[in-house]
Amino acid sequence: MDELSKYETDFYGWAIEQAELLRTRRLNEADLDNIAEEIESMGRSEKRELVNRLAVLLAHLLKWQSQPGLRRTSWRLTVVEQRRRLARHMQGNPSLTTILPDAIDEAYDYARLAAQSETGLADSAFPATCPYSFDQVGDERFWPD
């Protein structure tokens, strides 16, 4: 069975085998193209995690700001938890700071739609662009009024 077909038919077996080839410096036997693709995929996964965390956090901050009379403990707990997870994710992936502006823009699009859907408020109730800086989003003392 060649490496490409093992990659396609037994990913776990392929991964274990490739790791061993890399550890023993047998690069001429390694499936370098697919290894590179998998490493890039891991990076994309970390970006997706960042965008997802930001989207949940931003949606709850929007709900918090737009419906002060309906603020719930669950909203506060979600914001606190997402801030904690976001901080941990950024600590483990400091290079993600280079893509923060794009990640916030992407996450805000999702957050705005979620906030509209969950609150029933009109599109115009929420700013077209993210009204919060990353520092505000991550600051445990920041609660928009």
Domain that residue 72 falls in: 44-138
Residue 67: inside a domain, yes or no? yes
Instruction: Estimate the share of the chain in helix, then strand, then coil, as percent rounded to the nearest 5.
Output: 80, 0, 20
For 84-119, the pLDDT digits (tens) are 999 999 999 999 999 999 999 999 999 999 999 999
Number of domains into which the chain is organized: 1
Q: What is the CA radius of gyration of the chain?
A: 21
| The model's pTM | 0.84
Residue 29: inside a domain, yes or no? no
Q: What are phi and psi of 135, to 5 degrees?
A: -60, -40
Residue 12: inside a domain, yes or no? no
**Whole-angstrom distance, CA of residue 1 vs CA of residue 3:** 7
Residue 115: inside a domain, yes or no? yes
Residue 18: inside a domain, yes or no? no
For 15-58, the pLDDT digits (tens) are 999 999 999 999 999 999 999 999 999 999 999 999 999 999 99
